Amino acid sequence: MASPSSDLDRERRKCTFNVAELTDIINGGREKTERRQYLESLVLNEPIFNYDDYYFLSREEKYSDAVKKTVRLVQVLKQHNIEDPEDYQTLLKYVLNLNLPIALHNSMFRPTIRDQGTDEQRKKWLPLANDYKIIGTYAQTELGHGTFIRGLETTSTYDPKREEFVLNTPTLTATKWWPGCLGKTSTHAVVMAQLYIKNQCYGIHSFIIQLRSLKDHSPMPGVTVGDIGNKVGLETNDNGFLAMDNVRIPRENMLMRHAQVYPDGTYRKPANSKLVYGTMVLLRATVVSESATNLSKAATIAIRYSCVRRQTEAKPGELEPQIIDYVTQQHKLVPQLATAYAFAWIARYMMSTYHALHADIESGHLGALQELHGISSGLKAFTAEMSVSGIEVCRRACGGHGFSAASGLVSMYKDRLPSCTYEGENTVLYLQTARFLLKCFRQPSITPSSMSYIQVKPLPGARWGVKSPEDLMKPILLVEAFEHRAQRTIKSAAQFLESQISQGLDTSEAMNRSGIEFVRCAKAHCYYFVTRNFFQSTALLKCSKEIKESLLTLGVVFALNGIADNSGEFLEDCFITGTQMEFVRERILYCYKQLRPNLVGLVDAFAFADQSLNSALGAYDGDVYNRLYNWAKRAPLNKTDVHSSYHKYLKPILKSKI
Ligand SMILES: CCCCC/C=C/C(=O)SCCNC(=O)CCNC(=O)[C@H](O)C(C)(C)COP(=O)(O)OP(=O)(O)OC[C@H]1O[C@@H](n2cnc3c(N)ncnc32)[C@H](O)[C@@H]1OP(=O)(O)O
Ligand SMILES: Cc1cc2nc3c(=O)[nH]c(=O)nc-3n(C[C@H](O)[C@H](O)[C@H](O)COP(=O)(O)OP(=O)(O)OC[C@H]3O[C@@H](n4cnc5c(N)ncnc54)[C@H](O)[C@@H]3O)c2cc1C
């Protein structure tokens, strides 16, 4: 048997491009790579951040271990004056492969105060939060409502006499349920509640409440708080519940940047009622980046493993082949690698668009609200869905060892599963994107330039201009196919809605009956958006010819598999012919062959530290079997040769007369 590490060495010698150059491109430049390496050096060398036996821990041990790591991380950040949120994100992406009990503090609590708080409120709360003197979460979802925010039952009633709000969870279903880090960690929360003044409801607003004493961490009076129990994944996160019984907070604790309640109870409404939803939009944009990162990790593990795993005697007397050389294995993994790169590029687009439109919104240009909501909703759902499915494809492609916790793919899959649900359940978000697409379809004047393609009505009888398999390497033809499909499905969704209304259904029932068409056109739009962005971004890169060629070929793989996996949508109106579908299948094989020498180089370029992957299958040196065996020997069950259950239970029956 060839030695696993020699297999990977040989793979690395095959690579046709400079891996470090591609790493810089992925990171956003040489400086960013150096900054990342510096941040990694601060943490990766600390024994406390060792994850070797993490998979053996119980849920409670995992949570406690994560709190320990969190405290040390905060100390490191303070010691080295690391305050830039981007640095924190870099550490999360590339170093810490855990969901920390300060996840919501940094991802939602602080941003909500920053974006929804007045200058005075920022001055009061942000220094405490930035210095981790308080730890917060974002408590919106309740036992009875997650999607329908306007249906939330928690109330915040203004008492003008004492200039206070009184918060209550009036029913069991009003109990806040799921918020991350709520159960045991957070001392404060932004609570989303229905504002009541003189018995009139003004809808959802955000309020800061203290959950726990800063002296002994015990729950505050009127606060019942705890962990919601074991979940599929995210075991380090104490997702919790919160019930409030007449919890009084000062008037100043309502975040009042957009809406105000004056001491006498006068209410000033926000310029737009959706401004209070702003933090969710930021998180949806962040989910796009997380989806890219996790699929990149999964592809790294599975491709490295597939280069060291040899199986089945292809030709008598010869070495068993590397499983990466089975085309069926390439057909599992190369599309995931292509998707990982496509998502890395769209994540950069999403975050830059978020910051640009958020700045517009901050300057009062509220028209950008809907555009940002429309774009972020779809991309969150699309990338989360494909990333989670892709991680499972990578796990399954590793055979039996893919089922071992030591693969790193099992916990990754379990931890990424909820990304299709939190921050907006995927279907609900697709419907929101579709709502915006149809608005653009009907009202060209509100259509942002990024969606101007919607105005172009596809010519009846339009046909794909592909004449040969070689044509399929031309981005313009690939983008044309996805653009046509998106235009057609948006138009068809609009027509379907009209047909429902013309049959006499009221708008909400007609919208409901059109829901499947809406989701279909939202997905088609996202596929087009990601494909177009991939080729546009790659074309602009200043890099070696070899890197550009590999990235373009990955883009072709992403696009062609998108067509092959959804062929019905392209054949439905005869835009694509059967012959052209044969070209697609032939070209997919061609691309796999072209990419084969560079597969390890393309995953090495992500430059995930072994500690961050925490995988016996995906370590840089490929020493799979030793890692698996040594890890198994450390399993708690192997502390003794004979387990105590033998003496307690097994021995009597084994001694009994047969
Ligand atoms: C490490 C792990 C971290 C995980 C942390 C997880 C945190 C969480 O999960 S926080 C909780 C997340 N929860 C959600 O995302 C709830 C999802 N539901 C919603 O966002 C809303 O309920 C809705 C969008 C589904 C509906 O909102 P609603 O107020 O009922 O709006 P209408 O349906 O009446 O009208 C839609 C209308 O409003 C516009 N709009 C909706 N949301 C936004 C927004 N965020 N920004 C801007 N505009 C928004 C939408 O465009 C429609 O406009 P029109 O078409 O002009 O009516
Ligand atoms: C791991 C995890 C972490 C979370 N962290 C937080 C947090 O920190 N803070 C917080 O506030 N919340 C948090 N949540 C809650 C999360 O935001 C909600 O679970 C999510 O918004 C979905 O709402 P729901 O659970 O009520 O599902 P539901 O809305 O009940 O969805 C159930 C089904 O109904 C369908 N459905 C619902 N409404 C519609 C509709 N209008 N049209 C069509 N179909 C519909 C959905 O598509 C879905 O298939 C977290 C959840 C998880 C799993």
8 A C-beta contact, residue 180 and residue 141: no
Average pLDDT over residues 180-206: 98
- Between CA 346 and CA 535 the distance in angstroms is 11
What residue type is assigned to position 362 of the chain?
A: E
Q: Can you give the pLDDT at residue 3?
A: 61
Amino acid 621: pLDDT = 97
Residue 649, number of CB atoms within 10 A of its CB? 11
State the DSSP H helix or E strand holding residue 278, giving kind and residue range, or none if neither. helix 278-308
Range 45-50, long-range pairs (CB < 8 A, 24+ positions)? 46/72, 46/76, 48/72, 49/95, 49/96, 49/611, 50/611
Q: Is the pLDDT of residue 96 over 90?
A: no
- 13 pLDDT higher than 80: yes
Q: Please, what are the domains in the chain?
A: 133-270 (2.40.110.10), 434-450+472-598 (1.20.140.10)
Chain centroid, CA 647 distance in Å: 47
Average pLDDT in the 12-40 region?
97
pLDDT of 655 higher than 80: no
Give yes or no for a contact between 604 and 12, defined as CB atoms under 8 angstroms apart: yes
User: What ipTM score was computed for the predicted complex, to two decimals?
Assistant: 0.98
CA 425–ligand 1 middle distance (angstroms): 10
Q: What is the mean pLDDT of residues 219-230?
A: 98
Q: What is the mean pLDDT of residues 90-117?
A: 90
Question: Is 423 considered catalytic here?
Answer: yes
Closest atom, ligand 2, to C-alpha of 427: 47
In degrees and rounded to multiples of 5, residue 52 shows phi and psi of: -50, -45
Reported as a single tens digit per residue, the pLDDT across 427-450 is: 999 999 999 999 999 998 889 998
* Cα Rg of the chain, angstroms: 27
Give the pairing of strands 223-227 and 240-244. antiparallel
Is residue 4 scored above 60 in pLDDT? Answer: no
Instruction: Determine the Cα–Cα distance for residues 160 and 158; give it in Å rounded to an integer.
Output: 6
Of the candidates 439, 424, 417, 419, the one whose C-alpha atom is nearest the C-alpha of residue 521 is 439
- Whether the Cβ atoms of residue 339 and residue 560 lie closer than 8 Å to each other: no
CA distance 489 to 522: 9
- Candidate from 280, 387, 416 with most ligand 1 atoms within 8 A of CB, to mutate: 280
Q: For residue 86, what pLDDT is reported?
A: 87
- Measuring from atom 51 of ligand 2, which residue has the nearest CA? 422
Is the shortest distance between the CB of 424 and ligand 1 below 6 Å?
Answer: yes
Tell me: pLDDT of 658 over 70.
Answer: no
Which residue type is seen at 146? G
- Give the three-class secondary structure for 227: strand
Backbone angles phi, psi at 183, to 5 degrees: -65, -45
Is any atom of ligand 1 closer than 6 Å to the C-beta of 428? yes
For the CA atoms of 457, 458, 461, 465, the dihedral, rounded to the nearest 10 degrees, stands at 150
Site to substitute for ligand 2 among 150, 178, 432, most atoms within 8 A of C-beta = 178
Of the listed ligands, the closest to the CA of 284 is: 1
Can you tell me which atom of ligand 2 is nearest the CA of 423? 17
Check whether 348 has a pLDDT greater than 90.
yes
Give the tens place of pLDDT for each residue, 284-317: 999 999 999 999 999 999 999 999 999 998 788 8
Tokens of 306: 């597939």
Q: In angstroms, rounded to a whole number, what is the distance separating the alpha carbons of residues 612 and 636? A: 23
Q: Which two tokens stand for residue 259?
A: 């809406």
Strand partners, 188: 136, 210
In this predicted model, which residue has the larger pLDDT, 461 or 459?
A: 461
Q: What is the mean pLDDT of residues 378-392?
A: 98
pLDDT at 293: 97
Q: What rounded mean pLDDT belongs to the chain?
A: 95
Q: How far apart are CA 545 and CA 537, in angstroms?
A: 15
Q: Contact, 261 vs 251, CB < 8 A?
A: yes
| Phi-psi domain of 533 (left: phi exceeds 0; alpha: psi -120 through 50; beta: other) | alpha
Q: What angle do CA 374, 379, 382 make, to 5 degrees?
A: 130
The answer to whether residue 654 scores a pLDDT higher than 80 is yes
Spell out the alpha helix ranges (H) of 617-657: 624-633, 644-645, 651-655
Q: Is the pLDDT of residue 122 over 90?
A: yes
Helix axes 515-540, 475-502, angle to 10 degrees: 160
CA–CA gap between residue 228 and residue 232 (Å, rounded) = 12
180 is in an annotated binding site: yes
- Kindly give the interhelix angle for 545-565 and 19-27, rounded to the nearest 10 degrees: 60
Q: Using CA of residue 497, residue 503, residue 506, residue 510, what is the dihedral sign?
A: negative
> Whose atoms come closest to the Cα of 374: which ligand?
1
Residues contacting 355, CB < 8 A, separation 6+: none
* Beta pairing partners, 268: 260
CA 147 to centroid of chain Cα atoms: 18
pTM summary value? 0.97
Q: List pocket residues of ligand 2, CB cut-off 6 Å.
A: 104, 138-141, 145-147, 178-180, 234, 239, 418, 421-422, 424-425, 427-428, 431
Residue 2 has pLDDT above 60, yes or no: no
Q: Please indicate whether residue 103, judged by its CB atom, sits closer than 6 Å to ligand 1.
A: yes
Cα separation, 206 vs 156, whole angstroms: 9
- β-bridge mates for residue 195, sequence order: 156
Query: Is 58 a pocket residue for ligand 1 (Cβ < 6 Å)?
Result: no
| Residue 583 scores a pLDDT above 60 | yes
- Distance from residue 427's CA to the centre of ligand 2 (Å): 10
Residue 657: pLDDT band (50, 70, 90) is low
- Identify the residue whose C-alpha is closest to ligand 2 atom 24: 146
What contacts 242, CB < 8 A, 6 or more positions away?
A: 139, 169, 175, 176, 179, 182, 189, 191, 211, 223, 224, 225
Burial class (CB in 10 A: 0-12, 13-18, 19+), 443: exposed
Catalytic choice (423, 480, 483, 517): 423
**What's 621's DSSP letter?**
T
Give the mean model confidence (pLDDT) for residues 545-553. 98
Give mean pLDDT, residues 450-456. 91
Give the pLDDT mean for 151-177: 98
- List, in sequence order, every residue forming a beta bridge with 241; answer none if it has no partner: 177, 226
Which atom of ligand 1 approaches the CA of 107 most closely? 3
Is residue 32's pLDDT more than 90? yes
Residue type, 113: I
Q: How far apart are CA 301 and CA 337, in angstroms?
A: 11
Ligand sitting nearest the alpha carbon of 376: 1
Higher pLDDT, 333 or 83: 333
Find tokens 């060892």 and name the residue: 401
Q: Is 137 marked as binding a ligand?
A: no
Element (H, E) at 651: helix 651-655
Q: Which class for 347: exposed (0-12), middle (13-18), buried (19 or more C-beta within 10 A)?
A: buried
Tell me what pLDDT residue 316 has: 85
Quick one: pLDDT at residue 94?
A: 82
Q: How far is CA 143 from CA 102, 147, 153, 242, 424, in A?
A: 23, 11, 10, 10, 15
**pLDDT score, position 315:** 82
Paired residues of 566 in beta bridges: none
Query: Residue 458: which pLDDT band, with cuts at 50, 70 and 90?
Result: confident
